Amino acid sequence: MKHDDIWRALDTLAAEHGLSPSGLARKAGLDPTAFNPSKRVGADGRPRWPSTESISKVLAATGTSMEAFASLITGAPALPRKPPPPRRIPLIGFAQAGNDGYFDDGGFPAGAGWDEIATPDVGDPNAYALEISGDSMEPVFRDGDIVIVSPAAPIRRGDRVVVKTKKGEVLAKQLIRRSARRVELASLNPAHPNYSFDLDEIVFIHRIVWAAQ
C-alpha cells in the first residue's frame, strides 16, 4: 500500500457517498479536518497516514466492507460475495397447527412433527411456515400457498396475522384493533365473519411477514 493510494481510496469513498473529505470525517464521528489535504503531510514534509481506527470508523459509518475498501486502494474490482445459503425453517399444514404439540408455551414451533422449507432469511430464529389449505383465506391466500410467520415481528393495525386461541383454533386474519382487553380481527375472505376475542382467550398473535404464492 502506498500513502497516496490510501488517501485516494478515502477521497473516492467520500465521493461515492456524495461527501467531501471533511464530510466523510464528520459522518464517521471524527474531527472534520482529519482528512483535509493539509493533514496528509506533516510539518517536516513526511507523509501522514490515516489511523486504522479512523478507517474502521469510516467503513462502519458508510457500510463499506474491508474488501471493498481494499479494492479502492488497489484499483482492482472487489470479489463478489457468495449469497448466503437459503435458510430452512419449520413447516406444517395450517390444519395441523391447532393440534397439541406443535407449539411450546411461548408460541414458538416445537415438537418433531414439522417438515422444513428453504426460505429467505427473515431475521427471526423462531420463524416458521404454514401451508394454507382450503378457500377460507381467499383471495389473499389460496390453497397451497405458504406463509412465513415471525413471532418476533412487531404487530400494527392492518397487519396480517396468525392467531391461536385457547380452544385450539388457528386463524389467519387482519388485525383491526388490539386494546388492553380485546382483539378485533377481520377475515381475509369477505364471505367469512370477523372475530373478536378477549386477550385471555388467545395463546399468541404472530405477524405474517412473507408469502409464496
pLDDT, tens digit (0-9, with 9 covering 90-100), for 27-67: 999 998 999 988 899 888 899 999 999 999 999 988 888 88
Is residue 81 a part of any domain in this protein? no
DSSP SS3 for 130: strand
pLDDT at residue 178 in the model: 92
**Among 22, 43, 74, which residue terminates a domain?**
74
| Same domain assignment for residues 101 and 130 | yes
Is-contact 65 59, C-beta < 8 A? yes
- Work out the percent of the chain whose per-residue pLDDT is above 90: 37
Integer-rounded Cα Rg, in Å, for the chain is: 27
Domain boundary among 40, 74, 108: 74
Boundary-marking domain end, from 74, 95, 116: 74
Q: How many CB atoms lie within 10 A of CB 17?
A: 14
- At 156-206, the pLDDT tens digits run 999 999 999 999 888 899 999 999 899 999 998 888 899 999 999 999 999
Q: Is residue 80 part of a domain?
A: no
Distance CA 78, CA 116 (A): 35
Q: Each residue of 106-147: pLDDT tens digit?
A: 888 988 889 988 877 677 889 999 998 888 888 888 888 999
Residues 25, 100, single domain; the answer is no
Statement to judge: residues 112 and 184 lie in one domain: yes
Residue 53 structural domain: 3-74
Cα-Cα end-to-end distance for the chain: 51
Cα maximum dimension of the chain? 83
- Shared domain for 19 and 115, answered yes or no, is no
* Same domain, residue pair 111 and 166: yes
In a domain, 91, yes or no: yes
Please state the pTM of the whole predicted model: 0.59
Q: What is the CATH number of the domain that holds 27?
A: 1.10.260.40
At 51, list the grid cell: 489511523
Q: Can you read off the three cell numbers belonging to residue 209?
A: 411477514
Please state, in angstroms and rounded to a whole number, the distance separating the CA atoms of residues 70 and 108.
Answer: 43
Q: Are residues 187 and 128 in the same domain?
A: yes
- Same domain flag for 183 and 142: yes
Number of domains present in the structure of the chain:
2
Q: What is the domain-level CATH number for residue 100?
A: 2.10.109.10
Q: Domain for residue 82, yes or no?
A: no
* Stretch (H or E) spanning 62: helix 52-62
